[in-house]
Amino acid sequence: MQVTLVILKPSAVQRGILGEVISRFEKKGLQIVGMKMINLTDEVLKVHYSHLVEKPFYGRIKDSMQVSPVIVMALKGVDAVNVVRKITGSTNGRDAQPGTIRGDYSISVQENIVHASDSDETAQIELSRFFTADEIFNYPQLMIQNIYANDEY
């Protein structure tokens, strides 16, 4: 089982669609093993978006991500990174397929509702950035046999 990070951005918080977005992940069968609301500081954003800090649009990203608190979630499941990225859709909401979170709720490249880790390695780094070890829970998913075949988990 993989654990991956999802951030529900201020665009989701401000629009009041947190429940709808979270339910998409739950309905797919992903298990929420960590979740909290936080404010993103300048320091955290510089680290999280270190690959973009020198880009001319970094200021726009920083401003957008600090409009309100965000929800950070740790989601667990088989191939969770790939599954979450398929559910979220293309980064640019205008290009995202209908049926994905961004395809259904976004028409922007920036105000695109969610951030999702792009690899298992990135997920581990990002999870440790936003959660301590005792904030990610390992508990049985009681309906697991209704989510996966018995040889998948």
The answer to whether residue 24 is domain-embedded is: yes
Across the beta sheet with 114-116, the strand order is: 31-38, 70-77, 2-8, 114-116
The total of structural domains in the chain comes to: 1
The amino acid that residue 79 corresponds to is: D
Give the domain range for residue 28: 2-40+68-146
pLDDT digits (tens, 9 = 90+) for 84-93: 999 999 999 9
As given in the structure block, the two tokens for residue 15 are: 């629009």
| Rounded-to-10 torsion of CA 4, 101, 96, 15 | -120
* Per-residue pLDDT band at 13 (split at 50, 70, 90): very high
- Quote the mean pLDDT of the chain: 96
* Per-residue pLDDT band at 124 (split at 50, 70, 90): very high
Counting Cα atoms < 13 Å in the Cβ hemisphere of 146 gives: 7
| Mean pLDDT score, 11-30 | 98
The answer to whether residue 48 is domain-embedded is: no
Q: What's the pLDDT at 41? A: 97
Respond yes or no: is residue 51 known to be catalytic.
Answer: no
The answer to whether residue 89 is domain-embedded is: yes
| Mean pLDDT score, 57-78 | 96
The backbone torsions φ and ψ at residue 143, rounded to the nearest 5 degrees and listed phi first, read: -100, 20
* Marked catalytic residue, from 70, 76, 115, 116: 115
The answer to whether residue 59 is domain-embedded is: no
The answer to whether residue 151 is domain-embedded is: no
| Mean pLDDT score, 130-151 | 95
pLDDT digits (tens, 9 = 90+) for 52-64: 999 999 999 999 9
The answer to whether residue 97 is domain-embedded is: yes
Q: CB atoms < 10 A from the CB of 134, how many?
A: 7
What CA–CA distance (Å, rounded) separates 152 from 135?
26
Q: What's the pLDDT at 141? A: 94
For residue 93, the domain's CATH number is: 3.30.70.141
The backbone torsions φ and ψ at residue 22, rounded to the nearest 5 degrees and listed phi first, read: -60, -40
| Mean pLDDT score, 24-41 | 98
The answer to whether residue 49 is domain-embedded is: no
pLDDT digits (tens, 9 = 90+) for 87-122: 999 999 999 999 999 999 999 999 999 999 999 999
Q: What's the pLDDT at 111? A: 94
The answer to whether residue 47 is domain-embedded is: no
Residue 35 · residue 72 · CB < 8 Å: yes
